[in-house]
């Protein structure tokens, strides 16, 4: 399996622009997670999908952030408008776990997207 695929690997944009990050989870996985990594706050969970349905978006910083999962093989994280404080590495992860299974299955991470907002 190719693992979790994220694109782009690097994104540089200007403040106010819309940014879309993409993720393809491992085939057959039921859960998908978006994380953000910064020096100040470490790794934080932004949103969790199970069977394409958003289960927990309490980590999404504000309304400028939105995430979708239109099918089992694709998810997007959109920031509109972007701000310099959004600069971070954004990771997508997936696992086999069904909703009731909790942490029984390991989360596998993609390579991340390094976002720089000027």
Query: From the CB of 37, what's the least distance to other proteins, in Å?
Result: 9
How many residues in total does the chain contain? 118
- C-beta of 82 vs 113, nearer to other proteins: 113
Stretch that binds other proteins, among 15-23, 62-70, 75-83, 88-96 (CB under 8 A): 88-96
* Residue 69 within binding range of other proteins, rule CB under 8 A: no
Distances in whole angstroms, Cα of residue 18 to Cα of each of 13, 36, 46, 55:
8, 17, 18, 24
Check binding of 43 to other proteins (CB under 8 A).
yes
Alpha-carbon distance of 32 to 73, in angstroms, equals 10
Distance, CA of 81 to CA of 74 (rounded, Å): 22
* Cβ-contact 57, 67 below 8 angstroms: yes
Binding site for other proteins (CB under 8 A): 31, 33, 42-43, 45, 48, 50, 55-56, 89, 91, 93, 97, 99, 102-104, 106-112, 114
């Amino acid at each position: 399996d190719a693992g979790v695929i994220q694109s782009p690997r690097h994104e540089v944009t200007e403040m106010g622009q819309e940014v879309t990050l993409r993720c393809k989870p491992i085939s057959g996985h039921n859960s998908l997670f978006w994380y953000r990594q910064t020096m100040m706050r470490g790794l934080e969970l932004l949103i969790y999908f199970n069977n394409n349905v958003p289960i927990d978006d309490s980590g999404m910083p504000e309304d400028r952030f939105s995430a979708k999962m239109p099918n089992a093989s694709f998810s997007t994280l959109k920031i509109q408008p972007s701000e310099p404080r959004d600069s971070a590495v954004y990771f997508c992860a997936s696992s086999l776990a069904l909703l009731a299974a909790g942490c029984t299955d390991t989360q596998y991470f993609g390579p991340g997207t390094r976002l720089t907002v000027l």
